[in-house]
Structure 1
Amino acid sequence: MPVTRSATRSVSSTPVGGSNVTTTAALSSAVKSSKRKAVEESTTTAKKTPRAKKAKSSDKSAATPLTSDTFIPPPPPPLQNEPGKETLVPAVLTFSFEEAKAHLIRADHRFEDIFIKLKCKPFESLEQVHPFRALVESILGQQISWLAARSIIHRFTRMYDPSLPEKPADYSASKSPTSFFPTPYQVANTDIVTLKSAGLSTRKAEYVKDLAARFADGRLSTENLLAADDENLAEMLIEVRGIGRWTVDMFAIFSLRRPNILPVGDLGVQRGMLRWFLSRHSSKHAFTLSPHKLSGGEPKDDKTKGASTSAMGPPPTTPAPRTTSGSRLTGDVEPDNDVLPTSSESQSQTPASNKLIPALPEPFTPSIDKTLEADAMNTEPLPEGLSVANLKSRLEGKKIKGAFLTPKEMEDLTASWAPYRSIGVYYMWALSEEKN
């Protein structure tokens, strides 16, 4: 029987015989294709993952070891060290100055006349102080003349702000604690070669960077300097390269205005104390200093007399006194000959470590003898081991191990001044020599 067209369509649509096999094969082929595609995608993903890990591992093993020449980007500066964020020492005292004066007058009534004759500037002319700046300038001024130090400090500052005047005098004359000075972070991230271009020796560049790093990372700050007692303050600062006990004492008196500091290493203070206590016990002793015991006079350029660079606080309102070698830095650093003043600057110049200390008193005139002798032949005995005879010999130049007085002798002589030794010490500088 012949097959019709409709019957063919009917057979084709019926799921029997060969037609079913064909359909099943097609479905099987599609499934296999889908599975093959999934497997290929899975394989591709799996291949990518090991390669990524391998590449990462390869990068790690191929890392270049750090050397001294490797540049390491510095971390962002702490907020407190950003320009304008530096905390200043406030213009206040932590004690009553009137009580301090009354205490010293009770200890020795000659102080009453001394207070009338001379103002104690560090403790009466109060201004804010920039501690990082004070310490940097102190380091930069070590072992060189005042004019050389002023020039280097200005060049150092100008590296960070080229808009400053080219001449140091034009800047120094109007400088205040809030005027521009580089931040610790800026200095800490300046290389030695760049610092030396401002006139710093290699050692001083290293010292300044060490100090800056400690301020930048918080080991030193205005807050922890203010919070430390006198001994802890000394411990913190002496850890800094280039800072010794003398610099700490000057910083404590003139920047932090600590009331009970006795700088036992300062020969000027020692000589003033000899005159003070010798006059108290012997009215017959005339105070004189031979010419070789005096360093030269003021700088020849009179316009620079009052332009202190304020290494330890606010600038003086009157010219700084002629200070002798007695007030020079004693043992803070090794002699630094890399930076020398010019021949004209080095003639008759006082050490920069004096000139950079503001508000040192003018020497008293010879009329001060009347005040000193007002308590002559006092019955209070001298400390054990001291007599009028050996005080005279010390003042005439017979030192003990390079000093006029030992630390213990200074402690004993000023025991009645405590806890306000700093105020008495200020006036000893004015007694260390007579004004011409």
Structure 2
Amino acid sequence: MTDPAIIAHLSREPRLAPIVKKHTLKVRPDHGGDVYFGLIRSITYQQLSGRAAGTIFSRFLDIFPDGYPHPERLLEFSVADLRAVGMSRPKAGYLHNVAGFWLEHQLINEDWSRYDDREIIDLLTQIKGVGQWTVEMVLMFVLHRPDLLPLDDLVVRRNLISLFDLHHLKGKQLIQAMIAAAEPWRPYRSYASRYLWEMEATVL
């Protein structure tokens, strides 16, 4: 259940208030705060329907004896092995990149509370195949960071433009206008973004 204080805060913004009143945010798994697992799952789910991605991810986890894709074990599987469970060739490479990065930077059991949002984004987007949107999803759903505004997300962008009638703007002007429009939602822009997804019943 969403904290009533968050609902009250977001309801003060007149354009968002009807959406907050109409929709209830779904409880989503946070994988016990496991950033590595969250990244692996997010990469798997990219550009796939929820059902198809879920099937592939389940098959992927099944190849590990304990059902967990430990970095060192993941690197033992070839791209061909990962493709055999349904991963595309690029995604198989990205999964290897994440596992290798985790081992190289000794991030197993990392205390992510030591980092702010920007530091985590800057660190993890060094991994080839991991973009800002992917890290933002992990920040929001795995680490429960409350104030992300994922403007690279098509649904968030589309509904911000619609709510605030920003169709006439392009490029940097549009970005600046969207950031300004969402300013009253601080410090709960992650929750506001989730309400924008609920408008279209988006599954992440």
Same fold (TM over 0.5): yes
> Is 1:225 equivalent to 2:118 in the alignment?
no
Residue in 1 aligned with 2:170? 400
> 1:159 matched to which residue of 2?
63
1:432 is displaced (CA, Å) by 4.9
Tell me what 2:7 maps to.
101
- Larger Rg: 1 or 2? 1
Please give the residue correspondences for 1:195-344 in structure 2 after superposition, counting only pairs within 5 Å. 195-221=82-108, 223-278=110-165
Q: Distance in 2 between matches of 1:146 and 1:198?
A: 16
**AA in 2 matched with 1:214:** F
Q: Secondary structure at the match of 1:190?
A: coil
2:180 maps to a residue whose letter is D
What is the aligned counterpart of 1:136 among 40, 53, 56? Answer: 40
> In the comparison of the two structures, how many residue pairs are matched?
200
Q: Partner letter of residue 423 of structure 1? A: Y
- 2:203 aligned with 1:428, yes or no? no
- Select 1:414's aligned residue among 154, 172, 182: 182
Q: Distance in 1 between matches of 2:31 and 2:134?
A: 20
Greater fraction helix = 2
Task: Report the RMSD for the aligned CA atoms in angstroms.
Answer: 3.2
Aligned-pair CA distance for 1:399:
7.5
TM-score by length of 2: 0.79
Q: Is the 8 A contact 1:275 1:431 kept in 2?
A: no
Per-residue CA distance 1:281-312 (angstroms, 9 max, x = gap)? xxxxxxxxxxxxxxxxxxxxxxxxxxxxxxxx
Q: Secondary structure at the match of 1:271?
A: helix
- Cα pair 1:122 1:253 within 8 Å, conserved: no
Q: 1:222 to 1:97 in 2, by over 3 A?
A: farther
Distance 2:8 2:48 in 1: 39
In structure 1, what is the Cα distance between the partners aligned to 2:48 and 2:191?
Answer: 28
Q: Aligned-pair distance for 1:416?
A: 1.6
Runs of 5+ unmatched residues, structure 2:
none
- Distance in 1 (CA, whole Å) between partners of 2:88 and 2:31 is 31
Distance in 1 (alpha carbons) for counterparts of 2:109 and 2:11:
33
2:76 maps to 1:189:
yes
5+ residue gaps, structure 1: 1-95, 162-178, 279-390
How far apart are 1:145 and its partner, in Å? 4.3
Whole-Å Cα distance in 2 between the matches of residues 157 and 102 of structure 1? 40
Bigger relative contact order, structure 1 or 2 (CA pairs below 8 A, ≥6 apart): 2
Q: Distance in 1 between matches of 2:114 and 2:51?
A: 34
- Deviation digits for residues 115-136 of structure 1, max 9, x if unmatched? 443223358x877344322211
SS at match of 1:261: coil
TM-score if structure 1 supplies the norm length? Answer: 0.40
- Indicate if the aligned counterparts of 1:104 and 1:417 stay in contact, CA closer than 8 A: yes
Structure 1 residues 267, 182: CA separation in 2 closer, same or farther (over 3 Å shift)? closer
